[in-house]
């Protein structure tokens, strides 16, 4: 048979467990345990809204569509800027935390809540394309219907005139009041082809 002292120990233990059960939800509001890795995602999908069907052989006067998306896993809402750029073989891509020096053409901005994503259709095309000997010159790069003067050249490499369209991810820095390159980019290589004769 239990003594009165034994009942007292059980009563205190049950009482402490009950207090902890009621206190844990309140403590979660005050104490923030470290979460998992904090990061952002950036992706490009083909015209079928899948990781396939990307344009490759392109020509002037045509329009091509892809989907560019951003995912936020930073632990809070974030304001993003995605910049479209066009380069040839000799121009630099982003390097770690340093963006590419290539001038931005199209830009998209958006707020994304933590754990959420945003995705938008991007159309692009080319104008002012000329082939001279073993060189292809692109004068205009259109992004979502807006024309940008680019004046890019690519020399024939085997059987291709290679250009690369890429999108850089920038994140708004509240303390600085400006966007900082967020260390992520996605790219598509394109082969500029001559119009059919």
- Which is nearest to 59 in space by CA: 192, 197, 188? 192
CA 99 to each of CA 66, 83, 148, 152, 183: distance values in angstroms, whole numbers, following the listed order: 22, 10, 19, 19, 8
3-state DSSP assignment of residue 173: strand
How confident is the model over 20-35, as pLDDT tens digits?
Answer: 666 667 656 666 556 6
Per-residue model confidence (pLDDT) at position 177: 96
Per-residue model confidence (pLDDT) at position 36: 77
Decide: 65 and 148 in contact? Cβ < 8 Å: no
Strands 63-73 and 117-127: antiparallel
DSSP-derived letter for residue 9 is H
Per-residue model confidence (pLDDT) at position 3: 72
Report the C-alpha gap between 181 and 99 in whole angstroms: 6
Decide: 161 and 154 in contact? Cβ < 8 Å: yes
What residue spans define the domains of the chain?
Answer: 1-33, 39-192
The model carries a pTM of: 0.80
Per-residue model confidence (pLDDT) at position 37: 87
Report the C-alpha gap between 134 and 157 in whole angstroms: 9
Token representation of residue 7: 């009942």
Question: Looking at the chain, which runs of residues are DSSP E strands?
Answer: 39-45, 57-58, 63-73, 78-87, 107-112, 117-127, 130-132, 135-143, 146-155, 162-173, 178-192
Per-residue model confidence (pLDDT) at position 27: 58
Per-residue model confidence (pLDDT) at position 5: 72
- Which is nearest to 97 in space by CA: 164, 173, 36? 173
Low-confidence stretches of the chain (pLDDT < 70) are: 1-2, 4, 6-7, 10, 14, 16-24, 26-35, 196-197
Report the C-alpha gap between 166 and 184 in whole angstroms: 10
Per-residue model confidence (pLDDT) at position 24: 66
CATH number of 39-192: 2.60.40.10
Report the C-alpha gap between 18 and 95 in whole angstroms: 55
Report the C-alpha gap between 68 and 188 in whole angstroms: 12
Per-residue model confidence (pLDDT) at position 96: 84
């Amino acid at each position: 048979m239990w003594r009165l002292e034994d009942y007292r120990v059980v009563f205190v233990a049950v009482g402490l467990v009950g207090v902890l059960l009621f206190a844990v939800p309140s403590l979660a509001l005050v104490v923030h345990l470290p979460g998992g890795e904090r990061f952002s995602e950036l992706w490009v999908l083909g015209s079928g809204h899948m990781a396939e069907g990307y344009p490759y052989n392109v020509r002037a006067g045509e329009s091509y569509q892809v989907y560019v998306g951003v995912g936020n896993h930073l632990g809070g809402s974030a304001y993003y800027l995605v910049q479209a750029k066009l380069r040839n073989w000799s121009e630099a891509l982003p390097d770690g935390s340093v963006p590419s020096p290539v001038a931005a053409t199209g830009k998209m901005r958006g707020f994304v809540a933590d754990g959420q994503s945003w995705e938008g259709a991007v159309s692009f095309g080319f104008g002012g394309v000329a082939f001279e000997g073993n060189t292809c010159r692109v004068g205009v790069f259109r992004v979502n219907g807006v024309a940008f003067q680019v004046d890019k050249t690519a020399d024939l490499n085997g059987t291709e005139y290679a250009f690369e369209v890429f999108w850089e991810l920038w994140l708004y820095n509240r303390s600085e009041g400006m966007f900082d390159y967020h260390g992520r980019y996605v790219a598509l290589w394109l082969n500029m082809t001559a119009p059919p004769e």
